[in-house]
Amino acid sequence: MGVTDLRVLSKVPYNAEPSLAELVKKPITPVHLVYKRNHSDIIDLKSTVDSYTVKIDGNFEGLNERTITYSDILHHFPRREVVAVLVCAGNRRATMAATTGREVKGIKWGDGAACNVRWAGARLRDILLSAGIADGGPYEGYHVCFASRIAPCEDDEYYGGSIPLADAMSEDGDALLSYEMNGELLEPGHGYPLRVVVPGTYGMRWVKWVDQITISKEESPNFYQQRDYKVLPDTVTTKAMAESEGWWNKVPSMQLLACNSAVADGRRLFSACPEETRIKVTGYAYSYCPIFRVELSVDNGTTWEDAKITYQEGQRSWALWQAELELILDDEAEMNGVIVVEEGNNGRVKRKMTVLSRAVDSSGNEQELDCKWNLRGVGYSGAGERTIEV
Spatial separation of the C-alpha atoms in residues 335 and 314, rounded to whole Å:
45
Q: Is 210 left (phi over 0), alpha (psi -120 to 50) or beta?
A: beta
148, 177 in Cβ contact below 8 A? no
Q: Is 379 left (phi over 0), alpha (psi -120 to 50) or beta?
A: left
Instruction: Please tell me the predicted confidence (pLDDT) of residue 3.
Output: 44
In single-letter form, the type of residue at position 340 comes to V
Beta bridge partners of 387: 354
Q: Which of 264, 280, 327 is nearest to 91 (CA)?
A: 264
Tell me which H or E stretch contains 281.
strand 277-286
| Alpha helices, DSSP H, located in 324-377 | 331-335
Using DSSP bridges, classify how beta strands 53-58 and 15-17 pair: parallel, antiparallel or unpaired.
Answer: unpaired
Tell me which H or E stretch contains 145.
strand 143-148
The pTM assigned to this predicted structure is: 0.94
Tell me which H or E stretch contains 354.
strand 349-361
Q: Is 177 left (phi over 0), alpha (psi -120 to 50) or beta?
A: beta
Spatial separation of the C-alpha atoms in residues 167 and 95, rounded to whole Å:
31
Using DSSP bridges, classify how beta strands 349-361 and 305-306 pair: parallel, antiparallel or unpaired.
Answer: unpaired
**Taking the chain (390 residues) in consecutive chunks of 10 residues, what is each chunk's mean pLDDT?**
74 96 97 97 95 97 96 96 98 96 96 98 98 94 97 95 97 94 97 98 98 98 98 97 97 98 90 73 98 95 96 98 84 61 70 92 97 97 91
Instruction: Please tell me the predicted confidence (pLDDT) of residue 4.
Output: 53
In single-letter form, the type of residue at position 334 comes to E
Instruction: Please tell me the predicted confidence (pLDDT) of residue 390.
Output: 76
- Tell me the residue length of the chain: 390
Instruction: Please tell me the predicted confidence (pLDDT) of residue 104.
Output: 96
Spatial separation of the C-alpha atoms in residues 161 and 147, rounded to whole Å:
7
Beta bridge partners of 212: 55, 147
Q: What angle do CA 43, 45, 46 make, to 5 degrees?
A: 135
Instruction: Please tell me the predicted confidence (pLDDT) of residue 378.
Output: 98
